[in-house]
């Protein structure tokens, strides 16, 4: 596994990440006044489910998913959802929403007694599914991005979508190696 240069992923004052492919989503709004970023939510996504590498994740987050392109898309084509970032299987980093803005990734959620996690979190999607391991490139890129986010915002908590929406969501799934992620981030493992 190669090491990527963290400095190439710095965030500017507006919350845009150098080194990310900027693909602006219309699905975001302002964070509530005085609401500071304190949480990063890790998700997984594949469209259609279990398929990797196609254009459909971008299409979903940009509001242009064709409901006839796949039977599953009829259920989700009208959703207004987004994430701040996507890390593809090959490690490519895509950014849809500036981190200073509120992306619509968490839905009904609660973390440590605080509702509406979108207000104070950054969403990172990993291209994947609950039943497949993530790639070396994804772990490396996630650690780099997490370090860049902490450089910009200070110490952050990291959690899975399943932890803030239990019973409703299962991602990032059992194949996400939290101990490995925390080790690559330089945190103690519990």
Return phi, psi of residue 54, to 5°.
Answer: -85, 180
Burial 160-182 (b: 16+ CB within 10 A, else e): bbbbbbeeebebbbeebeeeebb
The encoded tokens of residue 60 equal 């979903």
Q: How many CB atoms are closer than 10 A to CB 139?
A: 22
CA–CA distances in Å: residue 45 to residues 18, 32, 177, 190: 23, 27, 16, 27
**84 closest CA partner among 147, 20, 161, 132:** 20
Active site residue 184: no
Query: What is residue 152's three-state secondary structure?
Result: helix
Of 75, 100, 125, 144, catalytic: 125
Q: Which residues are catalytic?
A: 125
């Amino acid at each position: 596994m190669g090491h990527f240069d963290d400095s190439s992923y710095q965030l500017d004052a507006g919350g845009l990440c150098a080194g990310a492919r900027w693909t602006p989503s219309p699905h975001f709004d302002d964070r509530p006044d005085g609401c500071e970023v304190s949480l990063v939510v890790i998700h997984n996504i594949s469209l259609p489910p279990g398929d990797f590498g196609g254009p459909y994740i971008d299409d979903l987050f940009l509001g242009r998913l064709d409901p006839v392109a796949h039977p599953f898309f009829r259920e989700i084509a009208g959703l207004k959802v987004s994430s701040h970032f996507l890390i593809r299987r090959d490690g490519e980093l895509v950014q849809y929403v500036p981190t200073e803005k509120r992306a619509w990734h968490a839905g009904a959620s609660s973390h440590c007694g605080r509702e509406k996690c979108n207000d104070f979190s950054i969403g990172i999607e990993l291209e994947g599914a609950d039943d497949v391991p993530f790639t070396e490139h994804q772990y490396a890129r996630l650690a780099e991005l997490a370090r860049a986010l902490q450089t910009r915002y200070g110490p952050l908590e990291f959690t899975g979508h399943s932890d803030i929406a239990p019973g409703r969501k299962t991602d990032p799934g059992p194949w996400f190696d939290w101990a490995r992620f925390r080790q690559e981030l330089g945190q103690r493992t519990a």
